[in-house]
Amino acid sequence: QGKFVLGICNGFQMLTEMGLLPGALVRNRDLHFICDRVPVKVERTDLHWTTAYHPGEIITLPIAHGEGRYYADADTLKALEDNGQVLFRYATVSGEIETTGNPNGSLNNIAGICDTTGKILGMMPHPERAADPMLGNIDGMRLFQSLLKTFEDC
């Protein structure tokens, strides 16, 4: 119906299980639950979700999951990359996309993807838990501000 859909953590899992987003979320690489704040690189800033960020910006978002490792077959990964559907990647503090910055073993360090329309977003990190100055982090608030601006501009 052309509406915006956001799936965070288990919501991302549901979007993949319903077939609204490609791939799957499987057990973390080390098979342990992870609860931490991690650096995430913003890959695209031209979509409704990310206009308040800067290209390549490193933000810090909380994660809390046992099944957060993004998995997809090689053809799906290639399509995601070719179509620019990867919006967020796990990274090092300096912004490098490498194993040391990947907390759960997600393929291609994927932390969040969208569908081909850009209206459905699934991500494992929790932007809603980084949206209040009293909690010491507002990096996630800009995701919601970006979407709000879309509606204000209509």
In this structure, which amino acid lies at residue 64? A
Q: How far is CA 90 from CA 37, 57, 94, 99, 151, in A?
A: 11, 12, 11, 9, 29
Q: How far is CA 130 from CA 29, 46, 108, 134, 153, in A?
A: 25, 21, 24, 10, 25
pLDDT for residue 139: 98
- Tens of pLDDT, residue by residue over 30-59, are 999 999 999 999 999 999 999 999 999 999
Active-site hit among 114, 126, 152, 154 = 126
154 is catalytic: no
pLDDT for residue 122: 99
Work out whether strand 86-90 and strand 34-42 pair parallel, antiparallel, or are unpaired: antiparallel
Q: Residue 75 belongs to a domain with what CATH number?
A: 3.40.50.880
Here the tokens at position 32 are: 């342990």
According to DSSP, the residues that pair with 122 across neighbouring strands are 7, 113
Which residue carries 């046992």 as its tokens?
A: 66
Active-site hit among 57, 67, 96, 128 = 128
pLDDT for residue 41: 99
pLDDT for residue 91: 98
114 is catalytic: no
128 is catalytic: yes
* Under 8 Å between Cβ of 89 and 80: no
How many domains is the chain built from? 1
pLDDT for residue 150: 87
pLDDT for residue 57: 98
Residue 12's domain spans which residues? 5-152
Q: Cβ neighbours of residue 59 under 8 Å, at least 6 residues apart?
A: 39, 40, 42, 53, 130, 139, 140, 142
pLDDT for residue 63: 98
* Under 8 Å between Cβ of 28 and 60: no
Q: Average pLDDT per run of 10 along the chain, which is 154 residues long?
A: 93 98 97 96 97 97 97 99 98 95 97 98 98 94 95 79
Give Cα 140 to chain centroid, integer Å: 11
pLDDT for residue 151: 83
Active-site hit among 9, 43, 65, 114 = 9
pLDDT for residue 135: 86
- What is the three-state SS of 124-153? CCCHHHCCEHHHCECCCHHHHHHHHHHHHC
